Chains A and B, each alone.
Chain A
Amino acid sequence: KQEVTQIPAALSVPEGENLVLNCSFTDSAIYNLQWFRQDPGKGLTSLLLIQSSQREQTSGRLNASLDKSSGRSTLYIAASQPGDSATYLCAVYTDKLIFGTGTRLQVFP
């Protein structure tokens, strides 16, 4: 059974710091991996989708890497801002999307 774990569960940092959020999955037989953001009481916003043949994807201040063989992905957030405060979810595609446990990020001014 595929399990997706995210570390840390929560993170509180001052504005301007560079951050690394970690995601690990137990079964490397995945098609793709996706990072989402969820603001409190809101839906999901897709951040980055990494196909299984890719090693990384970048969008603005966000960079996500994927190492399928080791079952790991990292989301790198550069120069964090208070507006980045949200829960970040990693999810892997098998025959359905399996979500990680989430990292709750707070960036304070």
Chain B
Amino acid sequence: GEEVAQTPKHLVRGEGQKAKLYCAPIKGHSYVFWYQQVLKNEFKFLISFQNENVFDETGMPKERFSAKCLPNSPCSLEIQATKLEDSAVYFCASSLTTQGGYTFGSGTRLTVV
């Protein structure tokens, strides 16, 4: 079946290093979403894209975090100068609409040491 592919599965970075995470959405899905899951299960919305355009970035930290979805390339989430509190699992999802039926990837576990 079709799936949302996230790479890498695990990423370890020293504090201050850059981290880049990738997400390949399901072909034909117009929307891509990034979520951050920290301890205690809290899921925080970061950003969404409609095709290559930012749709909603209200959850993105203003500094250090950036994301892109370029044509014919996996989407990416980049964290400049990582901090210990960035340690989390980052999930990507894609969908035909914003209103339901998101398909989630298996996540990237980022550990900042």
Q: Is the CB of A34 closer than 8 A to any CB of chain B?
A: yes
**DSSP majority for the A interface?**
strand
Contacts of B93 in A (CB 8 A): 97
Number of contact residues on A: which range applies? Answer: 20 to 34
Q: Are B98 and A93 in contact (CB under 8 A)?
A: yes
Residue of A nearest to B98 (CB): A95
- Chain A residues lying within 8 Å of B104, measured Cβ to Cβ, are 43-44
Binary interface encoding of chain A residues 1-42 relative to chain B, with 1 for a CB under 8 A from any of its CBs, else 0: 000000000000000000000000000000110100010001
Contact with A along B67-100 (1 / 0, CB 8 A): 0000000000000000000000001010000111
Take A89-B43, A95-B56 as given contacts and tell me if A32 and B100 are in contact as well, using a CB distance cutoff of 8 Å. yes
In the assembled complex, the Cα of A97 lies from the Cα of B84 at a distance in Å of 26
B4 to A: closest C-beta gap in Å: 10
Complex Cα gap A42–B9 (Å) = 11
Decide: B48 and A96 in contact? CB cutoff 8 A. yes
CB-defined A-B contacts under 8 Å, sample of 27: A31-B99, A31-B100, A32-B99, A32-B100, A32-B101, A42-B106, A43-B91, A43-B105, A43-B107, A44-B104, A49-B100, A51-B100, A89-B41, A89-B43, A91-B43, A93-B100, A95-B99, A96-B33, A96-B45, A96-B98, A98-B45, A99-B35, A99-B42, A101-B41, A101-B42, A102-B41, A104-B41
